[in-house]
Amino acid sequence: MFYKALTVWLFVVLSAGALRGQANDTAPYPTHPLAPVIIPWEPNGADYKLHTREMDSRPFPAHRIIANVYYVGTSGYSMFLITSDEGHILIDTGYASFLLLLQKNIEQLGFRFQDIKIVLLTHAHVDHCEGAARVKELTGAKLFVMEGDAEIVEMGAGGSMPPAKVDRVLHDKDEVRLGGNTLTAYFTPGHTPGSTTWLWTAQEGSRSHTVNLMASLSVNDARYLVSPSSPDLVEQYLRTYRVLKSLPCDVFLSSHDKFFGLHEKYAKVGKGGQNPYIDPDGYRTHIALQEANFYYKLDWANRWINR
pLDDT tens digits, 116-155: 999 999 999 999 999 999 999 999 999 999 999 999 999 9
Task: Specify the pairing of strand 116-120 against strand 88-91.
Answer: parallel
CB distance 98 to 106 below 8 Å: no
Residue 23 confidence (pLDDT) above 60: no
CA 213, chain centre distance (Å): 6
The C-alpha angle with vertex 94 and arms to 93 and 100, in degrees rounded to 5, equals 75
Q: Does residue 158 surpass a pLDDT of 70? A: no
**What does the pLDDT look like over 262-300, one tens digit per residue?**
999 999 999 988 999 999 999 999 999 999 999 999 999
Between 41 and 94, the more confident residue is 94
CB atoms within 10 A of CB 107: 14
Q: Which residues contact 191 (CB under 8 A, 6 or more apart)?
A: 123, 125, 215, 216, 217, 218, 219, 220
Which pLDDT belongs to residue 15? 46
Higher pLDDT, residue 104 or 29: 104
Task: Note the pTM of the prediction, 2 decimals.
Answer: 0.89
Mean pLDDT for the stretch of residues 221-240:
94
Q: Which fold has domain 2-21+36-301?
A: Metallo-beta-lactamase; Chain A (3.60.15)
